[in-house]
Amino acid sequence: MNDRIRAPKVRVVDGDGEQLGIMDIAAARAVAEEAGLDLIEVAPDGDPPVCRLLDWGRFRYEQKKKAKESHKKAKQTETKNIRLRPNTSTHDIQFKTRNAIKFLKQGNKVNFTVIFRGPELRHKDIGRDQLLNMAEGCEEHGEIEVPPRMEGRRMLMLMTPKSTTASKDSSKKDQQQDASDRS
């Protein structure tokens, strides 16, 4: 900005985006001073570097505003956890599958965990089957990111939601179906 620019020649652009041409740095500073604005280097990589005539305070304010707006739009994905045991009943598995589908529709990742205790550890195949059955029930809304694997006495599997446009379309259909069911 202003006196901190070290390039001997710069390409000057005014606040409206109109190019004023390539100038010596002293001439560019004089033009900025006449206009009552600051000379701000916006593209230092260019040959010659590009500088704009702007009000520094307003420029900083707009940059902060843009950053804040993009931060608002960014969706933070959460990881929801669903825990099972090898002897969990089929009804409970169906209930947990419905919850997993709800989480995936909301755009969250779902981490499934089967916890083995004592002699249950000999029957890892039961836990794997449970996880694969749950994944099969959720396959319309999500896909397996990390397949079932053992970590100590736990078997883990991670599912992520399918593409956002497909999930938005399905959630709209679900809302319409819920509304028609209520009436």
Domains in the chain (CATH in brackets) are: 2-57 (3.10.20.80), 79-171 (3.30.110.10)
Q: 0.75 cut: is pTM over it?
A: no
Burial of 105 by CB count in 10 Å (0-12 exposed, 13-18 middle, 19+ buried)? Answer: middle
Residues in the chain, overall count = 183
pLDDT in tens, 115-149: 999 888 888 899 899 999 889 988 899 999 999 99
